[in-house]
Amino acid sequence: MIEISGVNKWFATKDGTVTALENIDLEVGKGDFVSVVGPSGCGKSTLMMCVAGLMPPSAGRIAIDNRPVAGPVTDVGIVFQDALLLDWRNVLDNVLFQIEMRDLSKADYIDRARALLKQVGLSGFENKHPWELSGGMRQRVALCRALVHDPPLLLMDEPFGALDTLTRDQMNIDLLHLCEGSNKTVLFITHSISEAIFLSDRVIVMSQRPGRVVEDIRISFDQERKLDVRSTPRFGEYEKRIYDTFRNLGVLSG
């Protein structure tokens, strides 16, 4: 689905050129949930921006479904760390903003929008405005907006990074439910190791700047993914492996 080959990204700054991404090669298969973890400033968000076609790579190529990315990718749903809701629209109209901007018929999607809001526990809040919602609720609305047009690809840039742990756990469960059986491809950027393991089929570990791919770990559990999975020995092994990687990179010490 996503093919990234030889991608480099450098930025010209006052103090010279900064390399954000170095020789990234990565393939994400259709229907895979792939997380990218790395220390802050490692270029993982830059990688997502390149995949979304919102930032051109300095070298290398990216293709989605065999089509090279040359401009903003539109067959996609994106969630950023900030919910980016529109204050002048209520919750339902914020979700339907996606539909309006795509010139689709609102009438065809209103039921789906309501159903999604219900799935994330926001039924009854359709007519509230963003300023009346908590941070977690806002991010749920943003998630529904990213899914309302049923995109094959979901790009998420630290979507739950600003939320407290409990809200974050709930959002993780909600996200798994929303993606279940939909065969969506998800590229999920995070700095939380346990979140990455809990959600993903594959975890990509990136080094600190210049960002390189240093590990590519397949994740699978024998049981259903519920919060309990995090206390299994398997989960602990995955965690240890990623922490060891960061220790070897010098990101962590001790």
Partner 1 sequence: MAEKAYTPRKRFGDRATDWLYPALTFFGAIVLWQLVVVATDIHAIVLPAPTTVVARMYSAFSVLAENTMPTVIAIVVGFLGALAVGLPLAILIAASSTFEKSCYPLLLGSQGVPKVALAPILIVWFGFGFLPKVLIAALIAFFPIVIDTVAGLRSIDPGYIYLTRSMGASTAKIYWRLLLPNALPHMFAGFKVAMALAIVGAIVGEMVGANNGLGYIVVVANGNLDMALVFAALVWLVAISLLLTGLVELIERISLPWSRKSRNQFMDHLRA
- Cβ nearer to partner 1, comparing 80 with 198: 80
Out of 21, 36, 76, 189, the only residue in the binding site for partner 1 (CB under 8 A) is 76
Q: Name the segment binding partner 1 (CB under 8 A); options: 5-13, 59-67, 130-138, 205-213.
A: 130-138
Beta-strand pair 185-190/33-37: parallel
Does 97 contact partner 1 by CB under 8 A? yes
Find residue 215's DSSP bridge partners. Answer: 205
What does the radius of gyration of the chain's CA atoms come to, in whole angstroms?
18
**Closest distance of CB 133 from partner 1, Å:** 7
Does 43 contact partner 1 by CB under 8 A? no
**Closest distance of CB 215 from partner 1, Å:** 28
User: CA of 122: how far to CAs of 1, 127, 129, 196, in Å?
Assistant: 32, 10, 12, 25
Out of 42, 50, 133, 156, the only residue in the binding site for partner 1 (CB under 8 A) is 133
The H-or-E segment that residue 21 falls in is: strand 16-28
d(CA 171, CA 194): 14
Does 109 contact partner 1 by CB under 8 A? no
Out of 136, 160, 197, 242, the only residue in the binding site for partner 1 (CB under 8 A) is 136
Q: Name the segment binding partner 1 (CB under 8 A); options: 18-26, 32-40, 120-128, 182-190.
A: 120-128
**Interaction residues for partner 1, span 202-241 (CB under 8 A):** none
# chain residues binding partner 1, by CB under 8 A: 31
Contact 72, 214 (CB under 8 A): no
In this structure, what token pair is assigned to residue 85? 């809701």
Does 141 contact partner 1 by CB under 8 A? no
Within 10 A of 201 (CB to CB), how many other CB atoms are there? 15
DSSP notation for 167-194: HHHHHHHHHHHHHTTTT-EEEEEES-HH
**Closest distance of CB 98 from partner 1, Å:** 6
Does 193 contact partner 1 by CB under 8 A? no
